[in-house]
Amino acid sequence: MTVKVSPATRGLFEIVKAKAAKGKDMAISLKEEDKPDGKSWILTVENRRKAKGRYHDTIRLLTTSRVIKELTIPVYGNITPRQIASISPPGTLILRGTAGEPAKLEATIVPRKDQMFDIVEARATKGENIRLTLAATDRGDKKVYTLTVENTQETQGRFTDTIRLLTTHDTQKELIIPVVGQIRAPQIASIKPRRLVLTGRAGETIKGSVKIIPTGKYPFSITGVKPRDGKNIKCGIREAQESEKKIYILTVENLKKEKGRYYDTISLKTDCKYQPEIRVGLTARIDE
């Protein structure tokens, strides 16, 4: 990049030297231009840094001015890696799936013709929730790499990781690919209704029930019931039979004696590793 420096008034001062405070990551040169309207100086700044990263330096212009002996110009450098390969899909890999079921995706890495290299290894920074497989195929005069990313997380939730592809490139020894996992809970049961609504008059018995019907694909038992708040309700769970299948019935009774509204969430603990908790929402309206 270049910067033009011109005195506000002709002949006010001259620039006699330019130097960098550090000078490690850049080269500078100063050229004088003499035009009819006065002298100006062209400062050229060239990056020398070969590795990616940020740096900060300050250029000092020494002048003949009696008032300001030195002009300073801050320099900020941000060097990004060269694009040595085409990666598809680009950017962050989003791995979506359901806990307990296979989930994987593939990324293709094609080295640029003017940046030929081999990928010798694929590794994950954490590696707790993904499994990696790297395969290479020849397409004409170049290799094409296929990276397979497979989810290993067995419970619902979100995770992040970073894949590092180790290369034989002269200057860029790694290709970095971010990964985000979004694993949802499997449908282990049908909940009817999904949200329980209690309505009635203060002083009356107000109850409601919810059926939890296992789908059969992921057998489980309910081992506990716990409301988030619980001060206005009493809960119970029991097994029952429906169409020769085991189901669970959650019963909820209102304890609030006066008029008002309240909300709660009831957590049903299960022994299913893919979904250790089922939540049922509750809305109550007590009238006079």
Task: Give the model's pLDDT for residue 237.
Answer: 96
Nearest to 110 by CA among 143, 148, 81, 147: 143
Q: How far is CA 120 from CA 18, 102, 135, in A?
A: 46, 27, 10
Task: Give the model's pLDDT for residue 123.
Answer: 96
Instruction: Tell me the per-residue pLDDT of 62-89, one tens digit each, with 9 for 90 and over.
Output: 999 988 899 999 999 998 777 889 999 9
Instruction: Tell me the per-residue pLDDT of 7-29, one tens digit each, with 9 for 90 and over.
Output: 888 878 999 999 999 999 999 99
Q: What value does the mean pLDDT take over residues 89-106?
A: 94
pTM of the model: 0.62
CATH topology of domain 85-184: Immunoglobulin-like (2.60.40)
The CATH class of 189-287 is: mainly beta
Report the DSSP pairing between strands 53-63 and 70-79: antiparallel
In the chain, % of residues over pLDDT 90: 76
Cβ-based burial of 268 (10 A; exposed 0-12, middle 13-18, buried ≥19): buried
Asked whether the beta carbons of 98 and 186 are under 8 A apart, the reply is: yes
Do the domains 85-184 and 189-287 sit in the same CATH topology, yes or no? yes
Q: Which DSSP helix (H) or strand (E) runs through 260?
A: strand 260-270
At position 227, the amino acid (one-letter code) is P
Domain ranges of the chain: 2-79, 85-184, 189-287
**3 state SS of 22:** coil
Q: What value does the mean pLDDT take over residues 42-55?
A: 88
Contact residues for 58 (Cβ-Cβ < 8 A; gap 6+): 20, 21, 22, 72, 73, 74, 75
Instruction: Tell me the per-residue pLDDT of 200-233, one tens digit each, with 9 for 90 and over.
Output: 999 999 999 999 999 988 889 999 999 999 999 9
